[in-house]
Chains A and B, each alone.
Chain A
Amino acid sequence: MLNRRNRNIYNPLGFMEKNFLPYIIGIIGENAIQAFCVNIVLAVLMKDIFNAAVEFNRSLLIRAVIIALSSLMIALALKPIFTYMYSKAAKKTMKKIRLKAYNHMTELPVSYFEREHSGDTMSRLTNDIKVIEDIYNVQIKRICFILFLGVGSTALMFIYEWKLALFAVIVEILSVFISVRIAKRMRKISDRVQIKKSKTNEKFLDVVVGFKTTKIFQIEDEIVDDYKEQSDNLTKQIKKRDNLNALINAAGLFFYSAKSTGILILGIYMIMKNSADIGTLVAIFNLQNNMGVLFNLGDILGKLQNSMAGVGRVANLLDEKTESHKFDDLVKKTPNDSMIKLKDVVFSYDDKKVLDNLSITAKKGESIALVGKSGCGKSTIAKLLLGFYELKDGDIFIDNKSVYNYSLEELRNKLAYVPQNPYLFDGTIKDNIRYGHLNSTDEEIISSAKMANAHDFIMEQENGYDTLIGEEGAKLSGGQKQRIAIARAINKGSSILLLDEATSALDSEAEEKIQQTIDRLMKSNTVLIIAHRLATIKNVDKIYVIDDGKVVECGSHEQLMLNESLYSKLYKTQCS
């Protein structure tokens, strides 16, 4: 129904597929039984009991007992079966949706993660999916129940005594009409209260966060007066809200009383005129409460509409294109014997050209460094090597083979990457290093850590390699995290190490340790360093200076320092 009206609204039941039938049978069955055999039957029962009491009719009393017990038996026997049916169908569907969304997310390209806020993606996978579960288990269930109970009760009222039923319906509509109007005003005032509340909070934070400054400038009184002003404004709005709230309560009670006493008085009058019986009156008295739930339907549908937004966000995630890679069977070899070779590489994000005919080579066992101002495209090169983005033009050769001759998995196996901000996974330090190579033994992990200069500080942690990372576990410094990330990369055992230096400043001790590690690695691997601090790369074989997406200078540290190069200028500013 919703699907037809707007193409952007997704049908949450569409995720169910073969679970749909048991779900719909279960949810209808459960709520029909609840409404008829538990709630409405009580009115039927009371009708018979009261009539029996007044007419001294014993057989009517017995009938009442039979009706009550048999419907209770039905409810107790059948309801669990239906509940189980729809719950299982819903849970199965939820599991399917979660897996589908998660697996899809792992297939998304890096560009997606760079574009979208991480919190947003996580929220789609957790909160928004939870919303779908809510639709299945709460909202649809509630709608079913309201329909059965409301429609069933109203119908029965009209069958029993249409005049009383009509009266109840009219009063109910009047009451809804008025309460909707008040509710609208209420929402407005509540919003204003919220705004004033957050203003007051802001002023409070001012007191707390600006404490020292306030004292030094001796403006305590001004700041507190500002707070009090907001606080008084807040109270004014709250007063308005509470006035309305009192009115809503009074109005609600008034209409409720009008309806129930109206029915009572009218009913008794009709009984006196012998046009109704007491049992019918009592039954209708009971049923009119049930009828009221029909008017909650609008509320529930409104909430369902909100939930649809969540469904849409999940569906949008599933619609995102997954990572792609052009694979080429025709093997393209490089002429010379190089480990990394970028040949005339052109790359742009959207329309912004980042790399322009850039060529870089690193021979086997060689170490090279890329330097340049921030935004010159250094980090992009690492991302291209790893196949995170597709080249616009040119080619990249890894171990003498074009990247297009590798699958993404093969390509990434060739390179061990240490990103700028080394993310460590939830788990122990050992787990994190093991992620480099899943089958590695503890010995291999320890030797990688030693190589990365991480072993010593790991052993200092409370549980050594088994220390948990994160809030409850080790609180690691930036330099320590980086060294664990390097150990993870070393453990991977790839022939090429790709190191994107951290931009944030490390303390001098940490920097020294990382420096030692890099020097050690350069001896045995092909290393590409994206350098932010020039002091760390003096020992590499070749330095490429990149400016505006092009290589402007290339050579060893000594060569570049000889003449008036851009490098020597950069070096002097940084290291003089």
Chain B
Amino acid sequence: MKVYADNAATTKISDTALNAMMPCFKDVYGNPSSLHSVGQNAFHAVRDARAQIADILNCKSDEIYFTSGGSESDNWAIKGTAELMAKKGKKHIISTKFEHHAVLHTLKYLEKNGFEITLLDVYENGIIHIDDLKKAIREDTALVTVMFANNEIGTVQPIREIGAVCRERGVLFHTDAVQAVGHLPIDVQNDNIDMLSMSGHKFHGPKGIGALYCKNGIRLPNLIEGGAQERNRRAGTENVPAIVGMAAALKEAADNLSENTKKLCEIRDRVIDGLLKIPSSRVNGDRTARLPGNVSMCFEGVEGESLLLYLDMVGIQASSGSACTSGSLDPSHVLLSIGLPHEIAHGSLRLSFCEENTLEQADYIIEQVPPIIKRLRDMSPLWERLQKERGNA
């Protein structure tokens, strides 16, 4: 059986998105800036896509800026706000310990350039405490940036409450919603969001395309100087097929949101319950306030990379936050941020599902994982030691 369970890394493009894109390569190939009919067709395609996305997020069309993806949107929102607010003497930014590197590394860059950064604790369940945020906000706080849902452990933050606190205190609020858009209901007005980053390929759209929602009135500095695209703020001829594909994918995701959520929660919970039967296993992060398709677990005494490569051999594609999959020496900062010791964090496994996955696949995973864990534990001196310590051997 083949089971692609790494949808948090990227998704397969949907037929709907692909079919929407094809004419943009063949017929609607004009430059949206051209005044002739071929160009105007492309202009309309981009305009309609923008309106569709704005409608789903409940904002205005001119509040959507197309970018190359989530990382670019995060960089623009954070560096742009920093530049804007520094002029007002505000050089303090609040975020969380387990943001995506697109946010964390941007904050590190700003820290080197004179900003002060406060990273909120996310506790064992992977969710911030609103009181911590309230205490962290200062007179000179320029921005609060908190991810909507975590890419590794899938925990979902109380975004509306965070936004409300920011509104009350007069601080701008950005959220990296790359894992949430298309998977959770989002209404930027109701949720008190000033800026939001999204990425097309996380919800069956194409890669290399994303968007930044930026509330009107926030004058972010231009990201790319040049032509008049994206309200003069990000120059460059639009990637028309990708924009159209992303909008089509988002529309499909939004139309099927409740149905998909129900199905995914069922798959997710079955897999978690099934894999928790493995001794010395645990779920990472809150069990309920998490993305419908996210399973993140740790298995003691095994190393994540070996686990995921053996899983690949039986047709299951997953990911791990072990050091060995990141190319760095430490396990993922996300797993460490929720208090896991290094040796446990090394044994992590993330399975991320989409609506194409099935309960049969869930059962296949539940059947395939335990013997692989056993095989790895049987040859693991760490497991042997743990068993001795616990008097099991």
> Do the two chains bind?
no
